[in-house]
């Protein structure tokens, strides 16, 4: 059995789609109280919380190296074959990316290489695009730059807002992530 570990820290709809389609070994979350934690509990997926706030000592700067070291130690304990980022909202450090070459997947809400980064949906709208979509790709050191595994397209409708567009994108993301993970896991 291949081990799949999902890193997610938000609402977790992609996590749910993957956990319903595959046997998932664990969820790792970086935000206490994130709704995805409850979704994991409902599905009996073991959840590990590595709370980012613990690494912001005395309200100071985020101690990224300490956080990354704990995350890497947790991954080594879980021994995943595949790591899926699903709204993790943090860029993974070099050491983790190098420890799992071609084993880390991410989903991004645009037709990469268009609109990498955090505001892909807003940027597609602002650019006056008539279509957008989502992309599942391998994670490499460049943010949202790794080789593309699967991409699906969606029309942008007149009057779309970031919210309406994201709402229509979500089911497409779920389908795309499931198909992409099936493809790579064989």
Q: Check residue 80 for interaction with ligand GRF (CB under 6 A).
A: no
β partners of residue 4 = 82
Residue 14 vs 30, nearer CB to ligand GRF: 14
CB 106, min distance to ligand GRF, A? 7
Alpha carbons 169 and 131: distance in angstroms, whole number: 11
Among 4, 28, 84, 86, binds ligand GRF (CB under 6 A): 86
Contact between 150 and 136 under an 8 Å Cβ cutoff? The reply is yes
Residue 76 vs 182, nearer CB to ligand GRF: 182
CA-based nearest residue to 19, from 172, 37, 31: 37
Alpha carbons 69 and 95: distance in angstroms, whole number: 9
Alpha carbons 107 and 179: distance in angstroms, whole number: 12
Chain Cα centroid distance, residue 166: 15
Q: Is 108 a catalytic residue?
A: yes
How many residues bind ligand GRF, per CB under 6 A? 13
Map the footprint of ligand GRF across residues 101-130, applying CB under 6 A. 107-109
Among 4, 5, 13, 92, binds ligand GRF (CB under 6 A): 13
Q: Which residues bind ligand GRF (CB under 6 A)?
A: 8, 10-15, 86-87, 107-109, 173
Active centre residues (catalytic): 108
């Amino acid at each position: 059995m291949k081990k799949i570990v999902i890193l997610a820290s938000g609402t977790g709809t992609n996590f749910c789609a993957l956990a319903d389609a595959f046997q998932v070994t664990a969820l790792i979350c970086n935000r206490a109280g994130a709704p995805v934690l409850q979704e994991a509990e409902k599905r009996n997926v073991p959840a590990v919380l590595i709370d980012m706030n613990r690494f912001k000592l005395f309200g100071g700067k985020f101690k990224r190296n300490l956080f990354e070291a704990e995350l890497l130690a947790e991954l080594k304990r879980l021994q995943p074959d595949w790591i899926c980022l699903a709204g993790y909202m943090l860029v993974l450090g070099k050491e983790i990316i190098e420890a799992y070459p071609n084993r880390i997947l991410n989903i991004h809400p645009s037709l990469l290489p268009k609109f990498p980064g955090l505001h892909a949906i807003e940027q597609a709208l602002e650019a006056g695009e008539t279509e957008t979509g989502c992309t599942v790709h391998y994670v490499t050191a460049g943010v949202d730059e790794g080789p593309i595994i699967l991409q699906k397209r969606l029309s942008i409708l007149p009057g779309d807002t970031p919210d309406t567009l994201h709402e229509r994108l979500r089911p497409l993301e779920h389908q795309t992530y499931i198909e992409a993970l099936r493809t790579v896991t064989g």
